[in-house]
Amino acid sequence: MPVIASPRRFNRRDLLKGVAAAGVGAVTGSLAHGYLYERFHIALTRETLAVSGLPPALAGLRIGLVTDLHRSETVSHEMVDRAVRMVMAEAPDLVILGGDYVTWGDRRFVVPAADALAPLSAPHGVFAVLGNHDNDRDMPPALTSKGFVVLRDARTRLTVRGETLDLAGIRYWTNRPSEIAYVLRGASPNVILLAHTPKRLIEAAALAVPLVLSGHTHGGQIVLPVVGAVAAREFPVIAGAGRRDGTAIFVSRGVGTVYIPVRLNCPPEVAILTLRPVEI
C-alpha cells in the first residue's frame, strides 16, 4: 500500500523567509524601475510662490530653476539637453542655475555640462551659483563662457519692469550669518538668495530675506513608502515650496543623481516659479 506523505506544515520561519523573499523582490524591482525608468523622466514643476513685500510690478515674474545636473557617466548630455529644452519652452523671465553641474568636481564633464546648458537664455539673464561638487576654478569660467553670470558670494542688481530686483548668490561653504549678511549688504528689499543648500533658509529668515532658491537634496532621490526621504531629513525643506517666518523657499529635486544612478518615488525636475505678493 503506497505511503502518503502528510502535507508539510508551515511554521513561523517559513513565513518569515517568504516575506523576506517577497521584500527582496519588491526592492529589487523598485530599484530596477528607478534605474531604468524613473531617473530619466524629468518632470516640469510649475509653482506659484508667495513672496513677502513683493511689489506689484514683480507680480507674475517667472523664474526657471535648473539644478543638480551631476553630468557624468550616468547623466548624459541628452538628459541635460532635455531639461534645458523644457525650460526654454516655458519662456521664463530669468533663469537660475543652482549648482552641482558635475559630480566630485570631475573635470572631464565640466565643459560638457556647460555646453549642454548653453542654449539657456532669458530676457533678464541666466545666473548661477556653485554646489559642493563643483570645482571653484574650472566651473565658473566654463559657465561664464556661455554668457551666464556666476555669483560667488556676490550680488547683482536687475531692473525688471521698472522695479529693482537683487540676486545674491553664496558659495556652498558660506554659512555664517555674518558672511551672508555681508553679501546682502546694500541689497534692495526685493532680493532673492541663491543658495545651493536649503539649510541656508535658517540664516535667510533671520536676515529677513524674502525668497531663497535651492537644490542639493535631490528631493531625497530615493523616497521610501511610509519612511520617506531618509537621506534628506537633515534639511528644513526637502523638496518643493516651504516657508520659515517671512521667508519663502523653493527646493528643486534637480536633474541628475549622485552616489547611485537611481530615483525612487522622486523623479527629476526642472521648475518654473511664478512670484506673487503675500496676501494680507
Q: Residues 145-176: pLDDT tens digits?
A: 999 999 999 999 999 999 999 999 999 999 99
The number of folded domains in the chain is: 1
In a domain, 7, yes or no: no
Pairwise CA distance, residues 91 & 79, whole Å: 19
pLDDT at 66: 98
Q: How far is CA 247 from CA 51, 99, 207, in A?
A: 7, 21, 9
In a domain, 263, yes or no: yes
In a domain, 11, yes or no: no
In a domain, 5, yes or no: no
pLDDT at 226: 86
pTM: 0.89
pLDDT at 16: 40
* Domain carrying residue 140: 42-277
Block means of pLDDT (10 residues each) for the chain, 280 residues, are 50 42 45 78 98 98 98 97 98 98 97 98 98 97 98 98 98 97 97 98 98 97 89 91 97 97 96 93
In a domain, 2, yes or no: no
Pairwise CA distance, residues 265 & 37, whole Å: 11
pLDDT at 238: 96
Q: How far is CA 113 from CA 100, 128, 229, in A?
A: 10, 13, 27
3-class SS of residue 209: coil
Pairwise CA distance, residues 165 & 155, whole Å: 10
In a domain, 188, yes or no: yes
Where residue 268 sits, what CATH number does that domain have?
3.60.21.10
- Strand-pairing partners, residue 211, are 192, 248
In a domain, 31, yes or no: no
pLDDT at 20: 35
In a domain, 24, yes or no: no
pLDDT of 232-256, one tens digit each?
889 999 999 999 999 999 999 999 9
CB 107 within 8 A of CB 144: no
Cell triple for 221: 532621490
- Strand-pairing partners, residue 250, are 213, 241
